[in-house]
Structure 1
């Protein structure tokens, strides 16, 4: 038997592949051992303790992830080569999204005559058996030998298609490897490419490699999975749901930890600032206080629209009874909100910089954002900005006494009011998204940012994270602005969180979450999965919030489906907020709400 060279197909199961390599070394003592690996690129990327579909990441993240995968594979092959330290061992790999196609390409290009394979399913493939002798060895134990290749010529049957074979180029002398397209990338490395004394390529221990394989289940058994399960659509959908759950849960924890660290840093900065003031001389202290009272030195000039009143800090202090604790009506992430009276009217006063502390979380940029956005829009369901105090970054709004939509749901807000509020907020978002020449993206739509007046009529508030986007003719479907991820976990568009690309579809995602919460009363981060499961099990009746009264179940179920569609990870699948045809189920519920109310009044008269 010719023992010039024996090839071994290896995967990521270290224990199994080690046994097969040692078997080949023992049974072909004079042959050169060559390892071949078809690297199957993962469809998922690690993210926030979970996984996210590879296609949702931006190009830079994709490139970095593929680089890490390649480095890991090189370390793996280096480890395998070290098993037979007294023998000449070579290694080749090919990156391909089809294991069988990739292996056939390697067999053809490397002119492989004999290959050891540790997979029954792969060894049964006729296209491979026609190309070379196939030795089936499972966990170091010989099983069988296939000599089907003797029935065929050396060139027949060795390629799945002429196009696939043509994608492999000639051997490159400079790189000592084959140059191929990105989708079929081949690399070869020899002994001098392993780790040098400086550790250019680190060799992991067998235990580490085994652990890595266990943590990458879908890839460690890639050979078997590729042949046994050609269609993975259902599995991908399940993984997508699990990935979304992992993303939202882990990201929320991370966001909470970040906020704790930021608060701790702010406190340390305050302590340092106060310490510096205490050691200043009286003269320098007077100069510092004088500088702080000059608003023009503290903030750049901001053009305030004529219809927005400018108040002094003295007015604000008087209106809130010097920020009396009983006037505190809210405590948001960007500062406290006080109830006050200005000009005989009840107002809500928001301090973007906490009073008396110079290092508040939200400063002039966010203050400016609210003034610019709310100063240019007017809508019955968007909160009205009455005035500002520039010197302390204070915003004065109309006072809405019934609190937030979250408060209303907790108090058992009737379903008729809930449906009306959803229609009102869809109208508000449509107004923002269709604004010309600049569309406005709210970027932080949630229950606590929807406020209710005495009649439970809703207003959308908190525009500190809103962004104005330049609209281009004939490109209305591609409104996008790249910015740092912001907003609230659970409502934040996962695609925006991954890529930083803020679009109107990001508001649609958040609105979808609001729809699900309003109909079910659930506030869990995995609400999307709960609603999906309820619809699948035909258990919508038990999911609808009973405190809202008797829902029209058929129409409510249809609206839940719209909410789920809003929360799709594919932006193109989400409904457009301005397209009436996409919101028929909401319109029908609105009509039913009005009709049922009219009947109730008629019966009571």
Structure 2
């Protein structure tokens, strides 16, 4: 057993894999331990605070995401390696969108004789069992051994290299319909080590006694030379050249970025030197005055005109109202900053911190603060949140307090369908009011479940106008309610046309409202909810689609509303309904009437 290897399949569950690695180390004291991992790439990748289908991302974003995934996998394997301080440990991983196929490919590539598996389900796979001896070890406890491979040894291990390459190529072919983050028709097979010493056979080994895990991770971070990529296909050489070319371009880009950062730092140093020199030649009195002036200019924001019906509060009052922003008063934590419950003038209020330019609270700054003040100070509607006051010095907004949280909270608590329909009707009314404002229409631009708030009676208010935009309306022109701006909002709710063109229109709010309707009726929060509902309607499966926690839906009318919601999400903007057209929203109005009538009959019987 001196020259033998024991391969251990590892995943992301550190506790489970640690137990299995230690079991193998104890039971095979003289064998070389080899860690193998199949990285399954997600079809989704982080984007703008949400998620984006990998296939829709641009090449630069894809490359950055792949690099992060590679780095995470390497660090994970190095962490596992550190468990065996005095043992020789090798590691290999492959990227594949089918874990079983990827693992079989690794077994054939490395000619694995035995493998430790920590999953009963995977260990039962016939394709795996006929490749090598399978040891099933669960949480460090030996369960069983499969020797099915003995029946098939004539089929593997003795094949020519050309046959093996053909087999791997066949196994790794992907469907043209695949949406995900996938490898090319062949696999990415990667082997690496901590100190970058490559053995003669091209497999990189990790010497356990020479370097600690911490030093190994440092080595990974400080050098990109830890990986060697081998691609198996007929066009392997061309693919390798393309990859090398891409890496060279990435390296050049990184060097340019670093040079730019150095120049920016040098410029800042020169500016600071000039400022200090100017200070030194001024008299102490003038220097002090200049310093005060510059500090004020740095921290001061344009003073907004606050309408009379909105109160202004000093920071001292806000601190007192929130008990100096005590954690027990924290009622929300959004992307734009924390929201605290407080009491001002005997009234319970919600205090939203936007924190200008890098202050500890919040990620927004003065522009968003200004936007909310401007929009909400000129908007009055029973289903739009009411702005009570502001604290200009710290970019703080003070709203009426709505104790029942967000519409998402309501859905999670099983909000009845009658209330859900009423809330949708209320929000359609609020959005129609915004879009029909004259001479300036208001586009919310970030409509979603968490921006619809509920009072004690579950009456809704539309909130968070930090991304809202005011658009000049010209009644004599056809397409006038449009504004060019950088794409903003939340993935899943964002109008794809706005995302691609930067043209924000009232139809962008209609798209987001369509997604909200689908979520309210189904209880689903997936980013691909439009496709799920389309498929359910195609299969005539509306009954199983509606959220059962809301009670017994009127299915015929609910289906009509689902179809209207899909029309809101049409990629052709002109096909979407408008909030101001009662005819377009007849399915919602009918359901609202049914909900109201149902409540009235129930109330009459109770009386």
Q: Could you say which residue in structure 2 is the equivalent of 1:362?
A: 364
Instruction: Tell me which residue corresponds to 1:147.
Output: none
Question: Within 2, Cα distance between the matches of 1:441 and 1:324?
Answer: 35
Indicate the structure whose relative CO is greater, using CA pairs within 8 Å and at least 6 residues apart: 1
Tell me: CA distance 1:356–1:495, structure 2 relative to 1, closer, same or farther (3 Å). Answer: closer
Map Cα deviations across residues 504-523 of structure 1 (whole Å, 9 max, x no partner): 00000000000000000010
1:570 counterpart (568, 572, 575) = 572
Aligned residue for 2:527, secondary structure, equals coil
CA distance in 2 between partners of 1:356 and 1:501 (Å) = 29
1:485 aligns to what? 487
- How far apart, CA to CA, are the structure 2 residues paired with 1:360 and 1:289? 28
Secondary structure of 2:442's counterpart equals strand
Q: How does 1:280-291 map to 2 (within 5 A)?
A: none
Q: Report matched runs for 1:14-53 at 5 Å.
A: 49-51=54-56
2:351 is the alignment partner of 1:349: yes
Equivalent residue number for residue 379 of structure 1: 381
- Residue in structure 1 matching 2:558, options 556, 559, 570: 556
Q: Deviations over 1:443-469 (max 9, x none)?
A: 000000000000000000000000000
Confirm or deny: 8 A CA contact 2:414 2:549 kept in the other structure. yes
SS in structure 1 at match of 2:584: helix
TM-score by length of 2: 0.53
Q: How does 1:431-470 map to 2 (within 5 A)?
A: 431-470=433-472
RMSD across aligned positions (CA): 3.4
Deviation, 1:210, is 8.1
2:403, 2:456 within 8 Å by CA — same for their partners in 1?
yes
- Residues 320-358 of structure 1, C-alpha deviations (whole Å, 9 max, x = no match): 000000000001111100000001000000000189936
Q: Distance in 2 between matches of 1:384 and 1:471?
A: 25
SS of 2:516's partner is: helix
Give the equivalent residue in structure 1 for 2:600: 598
Partner of 1:146: none
Aligned residue number for residue 473 of structure 2: 471
Cα distance between partner residues in 2 of 1:548 and 1:594: 16
| Residue 432 of structure 2: aligned partner | 430
Matched, 1:317 2:322: no
Contact 1:346 1:398 in 2 (8 A): yes
Kindly tell me: are residues 534 and 477 of structure 1, through their superposed partners in 2, closer, same or farther at Cα, counting changes over 3 Å?
Answer: same
1:404 — aligned with what?
406
Do 2:353 and 2:361's aligned partners in 1 also have CA atoms closer than 8 Å? no
For 1:476 and 1:404, how far apart are their aligned partners in 2? Answer: 36
CA contact (8 A) 2:567 2:577 kept: yes
Aligned equivalents of 1:429 and 1:484: distance in 2? Answer: 22
Question: Structure 1, unaligned stretches of length 5 or more?
Answer: 1-46, 53-205, 213-264
Instruction: Sort the Cα spacing of 1:388 and 1:554 in 2 relative to 1 into closer, same or farther, 3 A.
Output: same
The answer to whether the Cα contact below 8 Å between 1:416 and 1:593 also exists between their aligned partners in 2 is yes
Post-superposition offset of 1:288:
11
What is the CA-CA distance between 1:361 and the residue it aligns to? 2.3
Report the structure number with the largest CA radius of gyration. 1
Cα distance in 1 between the residues matched to 2:293 and 2:547: 55
Task: Specify whether residues 355 and 571 from structure 1 end up closer, same or farther in structure 2 by C-alpha distance, changes over 3 A only.
Answer: closer
1-structure distance, mates of 2:416, 2:361: 42
Deviation at 1:293, TM superposition (A): 9.3
**CA separation in 1, counterparts of 2:56 and 2:558?**
32
8 Å Cα contact 1:292-1:298 kept in structure 2:
no
Distance 2:468 2:55 in 1: 29
For structure 2, the 5+ residue unaligned runs are 1-51, 58-233, 241-260
Instruction: Provide Cα deviations, 1:247-304, integer angstroms capped at 9, x if missing partner.
Output: xxxxxxxxxxxxxxxxxx9xxx9xx9xxx9xxx99x99x9999779969951012111
**Cα distance, 1:582 vs structure 2:** 0.3
Q: Which moved more, 1:346-355 or 1:364-373?
A: 346-355
**Per-residue deviation, residues 40-61 of structure 1 (Å, max 9, x unmatched):** xxxxxxx974259xxxxxxxxx
1:480, distance to aligned residue in structure 2 (A):
0.5
Question: Deviation at 1:568?
Answer: 0.8
| C-alpha spacing 1:290/1:346, structure 2 compared with 1 (3 Å) | farther
SS across alignment from 1:395: strand
- 1:478-517 to 2 correspondence within 5 Å? 478-517=480-519
Q: Which residue of the partner structure matches residue 525 of structure 1?
A: 527
**Residues 454 and 360 from structure 1, CA distance in 2 versus in 1: closer, same or farther, beyond 3 angstroms?**
closer
Q: Give the Cα–Cα distance (whole angstroms) in 2 for the partners of residues 600 and 360 of structure 1.
A: 46
Instruction: Describe how 1:390-401 pairs up with structure 2 within 5 A.
Output: 390-401=392-403
Residues in 1 aligned to 2:577 and 2:479: alpha-carbon distance in whole angstroms? 12
Give the 3-state SS of the residue equivalent to 1:492 in structure 2. coil
CA deviation after TM superposition for structure 1 residue 604, in Å: 1.6
Equivalent of residue 579 in structure 1, options 566, 569, 581: 581
User: What residue in structure 2 maps to residue 136 of structure 1?
Assistant: none
CA distance in 2, matches of 1:411, 1:539: 24
Equivalent-residue separation in structure 1 for 2:406 and 2:356 (angstroms): 22
Q: Counterpart of 1:512 in 2: which secondary structure?
A: helix
Q: Deviations over 1:19-54 (max 9, x none)?
A: xxxxxxxxxxxxxxxxxxxxxxxxxxxx974259xx
Judged with a 3 Å threshold, the aligned counterparts in structure 2 of structure 1 residues 485 and 210 are, in CA distance, closer, same or farther, namely same
CA contact (8 A) 1:291 1:297 kept: no
Is the 2:356–2:365 Cα contact (8 Å) retained in structure 1? no
1:514-547 C-alpha deviation (Å, 9 max, x unpaired): 0000000010001001100111111000110001
Q: Deviations over 1:454-507 (max 9, x none)?
A: 000000000000000000122354410000000000000000000000000000
- Name the SS for the 2:457 alignment partner: coil
